């Protein structure tokens, strides 16, 4: 079957969005994004307010077979000036590459064309990822074995694996008496969402942050009801005393009040204590995803 690789055209938007949503739904159940959300990502990613500002060129390519879009890839070139971090300095990235699982030949042709395009930009290193405009979809999840194979055959290797966990908010612990005498909770704006701080004798001994609206003011309606843990920390001297569970319970009570139904969290496979805590609190594993894909000829480890 003949495969044509060409630049993205506006008329491709519906088929590319269908491809994006199929990959999203293999990772997160019943989640999807609009055509406008996909088109916006091709132009700019305002949620990546640091890294996106470093992008100086973008390109989107599609693979066509029998007049149908069967593969698509979005590419970034990062600047080579002093404002860019060392890991992204003068780098090129396949921001995402997707194809139908029955059309991996088109995916491989698109990967080769994407690498050639990045090399024409004369970047100093090559990265790859699978960051789509939906919560919890990044890296190359286990649900995309066809994409993992394409990247590996193109010479990319991944840096690390992350575990993505999910809980029904209704199943999370309910707030009980504080686990320590004199412990109180303080709610305030955090770095990654709303912060719930555990305060003991006027000292913060731990906190959890939860972001509860990924709809971008309602424009991404199918992301409604989803939230994620931005940070969860407890001072070493106060761990294993129930503080973290109590903080999660306080945050979950707040999420229930707002009608949020599902909460994502993240851990590393080797972080056995963290995984055990999440399981005890009511989380289960949603998927694992491989991150930091680098083509070794670039000579530099991939970014986070």
Is 304 within a domain?
A: no
* Cβ neighbours of residue 287 closer than 8 Å, sequence gap 6 or more: 27, 141, 142, 143, 164
Whether residue 301 is predicted with pLDDT greater than 90 in this model: the reply is no
Is 215 within a domain?
A: yes
pLDDT at site 286: 96
Domain span at 140: 4-160+291-298
Is 265 within a domain?
A: yes
Query: What is the DSSP pairing of strand 226-234 with strand 262-267?
Result: parallel
- 249 with 184, same domain: the answer is yes
Span 287-293, average pLDDT: 97
Total domains in the fold of the chain: 2
Span 194-211, average pLDDT: 96
- 148 with 179, same domain: the answer is no
In the chain, count H helices and then E strands. Answer: 6, 14
pLDDT at site 217: 67
Span 158-187, average pLDDT: 95
> Tokens in use for 179?
């686990």
Percent of the chain with pLDDT over 70: 96
| pLDDT tens, residue by residue, 54-103 | 999 999 999 999 999 999 999 999 999 999 999 999 999 999 999 999 99
| pLDDT tens, residue by residue, 226-247 | 999 999 999 999 999 999 999 9
pLDDT at site 299: 44
For residue 199, give the CATH number of its domain. Answer: 3.40.630.30
Mean pLDDT of the chain: 93
């Amino acid at each position: 079957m003949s495969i044509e690789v060409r630049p993205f055209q506006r008329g491709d938007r519906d088929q590319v969005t269908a491809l994006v949503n199929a990959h999203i739904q293999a990772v997160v159940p019943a989640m999807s994004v609009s055509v406008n959300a996909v088109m916006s990502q091709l132009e700019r990613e305002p949620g990546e307010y640091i890294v996106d500002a470093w992008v100086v060129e973008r390109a989107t390519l599609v693979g066509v077979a029998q007049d149908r879009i069967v593969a698509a890839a979005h590419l970034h070139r990062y600047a080579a000036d002093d404002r860019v971090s060392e890991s992204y300095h003068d780098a090129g990235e396949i921001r995402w590459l997707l194809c139908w699982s029955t059309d991996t030949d088109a995916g491989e042709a698109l990967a080769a064309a994407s690498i050639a395009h990045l090399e024409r930009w004369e970047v100093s290193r090559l990265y790859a990822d699978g960051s789509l405009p939906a919560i919890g979809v990044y890296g190359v999840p286990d649900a995309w074995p066809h994409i993992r194979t394409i990247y590996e055959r193109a010479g990319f290797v991944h840096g690390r694996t992350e575990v993505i966990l999910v809980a029904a908010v209704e199943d999370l612990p309910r707030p009980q008496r504080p686990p320590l005498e004199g412990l109180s909770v303080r709610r305030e704006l955090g770095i990654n969402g709303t912060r719930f701080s555990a305060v003991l004798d006027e000292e913060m001994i731990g906190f959890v942050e939860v972001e509860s609206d990924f709809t971008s003011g309602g424009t991404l309606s199918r992301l409604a009801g989803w939230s994620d843990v931005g940070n969860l920390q407890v001072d070493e001297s106060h761990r294993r005393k129930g503080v973290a569970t109590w903080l999660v319970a306080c945050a979950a009570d707040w999420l229930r009040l707002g009608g949020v139904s599902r909460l994502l969290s993240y851990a590393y496979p080797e972080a056995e204590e963290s995984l055990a805590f999440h399981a005890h609190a009511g989380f289960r594993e949603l998927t694992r995803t491989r991150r930091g894909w680098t083509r070794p000829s670039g000579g530099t480890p991939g970014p986070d």
